[in-house]
Amino acid sequence: MKIGIFPMIAGQQGGGVETYELSLVQQLAALESPHQFHLFCLDQKTADAFGSLPENFRKQVVWPGRRIPAYFLGLPLAIRHSGVDLVHATFVPPWASPRPVVLTMHDICMHTHPELYPRRIRRRFGRLVFRRLGKMNRLVCISETTRSQTVQHFSIPRGRTSVVPLGVDERFRPASNDTIEVTLRRLGIPQDYILYAGNLRVGGKNLVRILEAFRLLLDRCQRPITLVFTGRRSWGVSELDATIERLELGSSIRYTGWLSPEDVPVMYSGARLLIFPSLCEGFGLPALEAMACGTPVVTSRLSCMPEITGNAAYLVDPLSVPEIATGMQRLLEDEDLHQSLRKKGLLHVRQYTWSRTAQETMAIYDLCGGS
């Protein structure tokens, strides 16, 4: 069988979706499958992100090598002439495809929480994805929450969906104290800090309430602690900056920007806790990455987060600023709780591997390619 893969976000600093695309392809290559794989990349940056691959993988930069015309014009032609038996779209389905399409559904937050997203992005995503779900041969959902919501809101037959969880890369493990110290000094980060990891989007990521809870935390405990934001600045960051100024938090906030793959596990490892009280998530990968590095997590009791984190995280109401602040305070001051969640997290995260993700995805290819 010849399997086409259409990665949309790799090489674009695209957060969890980019991690998914790169890790899935890497682990599919490690399976030593007899199948042939054909990667359809909209530009050279995406192709380069995958590095070198085995002989049964081919990377094609779709004509004309610019993302928008390549998506609408070049991609359907490339699929037609490639001879693939099916196409796995990892984020957005091809505009047109003469072959069966397997689509990964990361979440439907733009549909369930439209107020959290700019109108132009909602309209574009709705046109490219939501309106076309019924035409997909199979939907691969990254959590049971995402599957249930997709089935319910779009009347998709449950039998046409599968759940394949994401994984945590082996590089996410507790770093040594020396490595943490050197990295923090290089990045200009104080040693006592709370970490937020992910793209800086004010709406769904609940960043304003995180800042308000952090202000309340500082007022409560009188502890000189820093809140560190990692990730690429996205829409709504002007509100983030305005909130920091309003709450007079400038001296207690640090931005690292986009971190190298080597620095991310170290930043997790050095943090006292990860704060991740999202309003809507399809999976919440940073929570598991932090657990793998031995860092306790304060996260939301809404959306998929209880499903993904089990009993290994401190759950809060993401709409309650005092409750978010209390969660952070508990993990700062209660050492027994801190150590308990650290141990539970290290154990819990073992079930999430990219090898498992690739194997279960490969089983879906076999199912769809044989139908």
Determine the pLDDT at residue 201: 77
Per-residue pLDDT tens over the stretch 275-291: 999 999 999 999 999 99
> What is the Cα–Cα distance from 188 to 333, expressed in whole angstroms?
25
**Residue type at 83 in one-letter notation:** G
Q: What is the rounded average pLDDT of the residues 151-176? A: 97
> What is the Cα–Cα distance from 46 to 348, expressed in whole angstroms?
32
Determine the pLDDT at residue 116: 85
DSSP classification of residue 316: E
> What is the Cα–Cα distance from 5 to 364, expressed in whole angstroms?
13
Q: What is the rounded average pLDDT of the residues 330-337? A: 97
Q: What is the rounded average pLDDT of the residues 226-239? A: 85
Per-residue pLDDT tens over the stretch 164-190: 999 999 999 999 999 999 999 999 999
Q: Left (φ > 0), alpha (ψ -120 to 50) or beta: where does 32 sit? A: left
Per-residue pLDDT tens over the stretch 107-140: 999 999 998 888 998 999 999 999 999 999 999 9
Q: What is the pLDDT confidence band of residue 101, given thresholds at 50, 70 and 90?
A: very high
Work out the number of other CB atoms within 10 angstroms of the CB of residue 131.
11
138-141 vs 101-105, strand pairing mode: parallel
Examine the pLDDT at 204 and tell me if it is beyond 90.
no
Determine the pLDDT at residue 67: 94
Crossing angle for the helix pair 15-30 and 285-292, to the nearest 10 degrees: 60
Determine the pLDDT at residue 355: 97
How does DSSP assign 337-362, residue by residue? HHHHHHHHHHHHGGG--HHHHHHHHH
227 or 232: which leads in pLDDT = 227
Question: Residue 186: in which H helix or E strand, if any?
Answer: helix 177-187
Per-residue pLDDT tens over the stretch 290-325: 999 999 999 999 999 999 999 999 999 999 999 999
What does pTM read for this prediction? Answer: 0.94
